């Protein structure tokens, strides 16, 4: 193993911010960056030896490979984390535009198909089927819908998600306002018997692989569509019947001042319930507001 790769690996082991999945992704990306620097002819021996020229060389290399702006953004985010850890934040520009990366494009709403009731019924693993039902009525991510302990998170009128289940360790609450939400949560509690929705004989990673195997067998490939559906239906509920742009509703320039106020308030609430820190992320789920 090259010296830079080893140094970064040790640093990642010492600094464990975020979920295990986040840590693993960050470690993989930073190891790839170190290997690419070596391929490009740069030989820093540690993260402390990184300089702005190294970051610029990586970005130039990625752009030459025609990586997507989103992929480059993600890699730069990991490099900024690394730069902070070695107390050299200035080596990575704070603004991605400084590297000629255009990330201002309006996100397109997700068009992923929702699983049908027949597809969910065809899944023979009750834990996986239950996780899908939770994703549908609460807008949960996969990890949240499997690590969740239903008995522990039932707050009566709210679903309380622990930080260790959530992306970025951001605990949150989601209102329980529909009969469907209550029925699914009660069914999940009965199935889990005080535990999580990961069977006791499997680790999280094993269950994740089994999840994709089971959903693949019935023709399901992208479960994130359930989150989009939740966000869109929640927007309609919060706005008193307004459709989001993703479903053919008005964009901001077509709204009255009162409608824009209602739209913004709904987006803030939906963003909070989905566990996002940035309001603009709702454009992906609801369609752009302007």
Same domain as 79, residue 18: yes
Query: Is residue 238 a part of any domain in this protein?
Result: yes
The CA distance from 118 to 214, in Å, is 14
Structure pTM? 0.62
For residue 190, what are the CA distances in angstroms to 151, 152, 197?
A: 9, 12, 11
91's tokens: 């080596």
Query: Is residue 114 a part of any domain in this protein?
Result: no
pLDDT value of residue 106: 47
Same domain as 45, residue 87: yes
Q: Which of 196, 217, 238 is the last residue of a domain?
A: 217
Same domain as 27, residue 8: yes
Query: Is residue 116 a part of any domain in this protein?
Result: no
Name the average pLDDT for the chain. Answer: 88
Query: Is residue 112 a part of any domain in this protein?
Result: no
Alpha-helical runs (H) found in the chain: 3-14, 20-39, 52-64, 69-85, 117-122, 126-138, 142-147, 150-153, 179-192, 204-217, 225-238, 257-274, 282-286
Band of residue 112 on the pLDDT scale cut at 50, 70, 90? low
Query: Is residue 111 a part of any domain in this protein?
Result: no
Same domain as 206, residue 236: no
- DSSP summary character for residue 174: E
Query: Is residue 106 a part of any domain in this protein?
Result: no
Least confident stretch, 107-111, 176-180, 227-231, 279-283: 107-111
pLDDT value of residue 138: 95
- Residues 19-27: what's their mean pLDDT? 88
Same domain as 90, residue 146: no
Same domain as 197, residue 282: no
Same domain as 210, residue 132: yes
Tens digit of pLDDT for each residue in 207-247? 999 998 988 888 887 777 888 899 999 999 999 999 999 89
pLDDT value of residue 289: 59
Same domain as 94, residue 13: yes
pLDDT value of residue 287: 86
- Residues 80-85: what's their mean pLDDT? 93
Q: Which of 217, 250, 270 is the last residue of a domain?
A: 217
Query: Is residue 260 a part of any domain in this protein?
Result: yes
Query: Is residue 39 a part of any domain in this protein?
Result: yes
Which structural domain, as residue segments, surrounds residue 252?
228-286
Burial of 97 (0-12, 13-18, 19+ CB in 10 A): exposed
Band of residue 104 on the pLDDT scale cut at 50, 70, 90? low
Look at the chain and report how many structural domains it folds into.
3
pLDDT value of residue 113: 61
Same domain as 241, residue 191: no
- DSSP summary character for residue 112: P
Same domain as 259, residue 210: no
Same domain as 232, residue 202: no
Tens digit of pLDDT for each residue in 128-183? 999 999 999 999 999 999 999 999 999 999 999 999 999 888 899 999 999 999 99
Q: Which H or E run contains 159?
A: strand 158-161
Same domain as 195, residue 136: yes
């Amino acid at each position: 193993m090259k010296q830079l790769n080893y140094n970064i690996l040790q640093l990642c082991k010492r600094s464990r911010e975020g979920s295990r999945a986040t840590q693993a992704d960050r470690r993989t990306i930073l190891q790839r960056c170190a290997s690419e620097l070596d391929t490009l002819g740069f030989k820093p021996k540690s993260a402390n030896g990184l300089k702005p020229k190294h970051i610029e060389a990586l970005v130039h290399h990625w752009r030459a490979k025609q990586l997507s702006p989103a992929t480059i953004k993600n890699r730069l985010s990991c490099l900024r984390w690394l730069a902070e850890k070695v107390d050299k934040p200035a080596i990575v520009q704070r603004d991605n535009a400084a590297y000629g990366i255009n990330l201002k494009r309006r996100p397109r709403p997700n068009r992923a198909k929702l699983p049908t009731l027949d597809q969910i019924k065809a899944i023979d693993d009750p834990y996986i089927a239950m996780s899908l039902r939770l994703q549908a009525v609460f807008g949960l991510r996969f990890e949240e819908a499997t690590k969740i302990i239903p008995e522990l998170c039932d707050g009566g009128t709210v679903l309380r998600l622990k930080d260790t289940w959530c992306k970025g360790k951001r605990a949150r609450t989601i209102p329980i306002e529909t009969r469907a939400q209550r029925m699914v949560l009660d069914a999940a509690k009965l199935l889990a018997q005080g535990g999580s929705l990961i069977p006791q004989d499997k680790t999280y990673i094993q269950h994740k692989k089994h999840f994709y195997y089971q959903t693949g067998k019935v023709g399901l490939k992208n479960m994130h569509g359930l989150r989009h559906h939740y966000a869109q239906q929640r927007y309609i509920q919060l706005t008193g019947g307004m459709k989001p742009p993703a479903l053919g509703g008005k964009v901001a320039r077509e709204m009255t001042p009162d409608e824009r106020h209602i739209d913004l308030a709904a987006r803030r609430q939906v963003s909070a319930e989905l566990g996002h820190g940035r309001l603009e992320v709702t454009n992906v789920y609801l369609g752009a507001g302007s």
